[in-house]
Structures are given as structure tokens and as C-alpha cells.
Amino acid sequence: MAAFVEGAYLDQHVLRHGDENCQPLQRPWLTLAIDVASPMVAGFNLSLDARRRLPWLWQCDT
């Protein structure tokens, strides 16, 4: 399987539950693995740490 991998910050903010000021913590980072042979999403990772790069992708060996 060959996959195209793309990542980007989402235009949403994560808020701390119970925070009176409702200050946003940070924006989540979404990484998608898209199958080259078809336009299907083969995998994804949603994280608050953009530096954490794709440890799950190397396990998708099919």
C-alpha cells in the first residue's frame, strides 16, 4: 500500500473543561494517510502535539 501523508492544524481550539475564563489551550494537529490507489483515508492521527510524527503509520504494513 502506498499512501500520501498530509498534516495540518485544524481551525478549532481545544478548551479546558471547567475553566471559568474558557481560554483556548491550543489547536489540534490532524495527520491523514490517504491511499494512492483510491481516494480513501487509510489512517489518521489527531494530536495536540504536532511534533509527534506518525508512529502509527509504520504499523500499517499491508
| Residue ranges of E strands in 1-62 | 3-9, 14-15, 24-26, 29-35, 41-47
pTM of the predicted structure, to 2 decimals:
0.66
**Per-residue pLDDT reduced to its tens digit, 10-23:** 888 888 777 677 77
Reported for 51-58, long-range contacts at CB under 8 A and 24+ positions apart, including other chains, are 54/5, 57/3, 57/5, 57/33
- The reported pLDDT for the residue numbered 62 is 46
> What SS3 state is found at 6?
strand
**Count of C-beta atoms within a 10 Å radius of residue 42:** 19
**Per-residue pLDDT reduced to its tens digit, 2-52:** 888 888 888 888 887 776 777 777 888 888 888 889 989 988 888 887 765
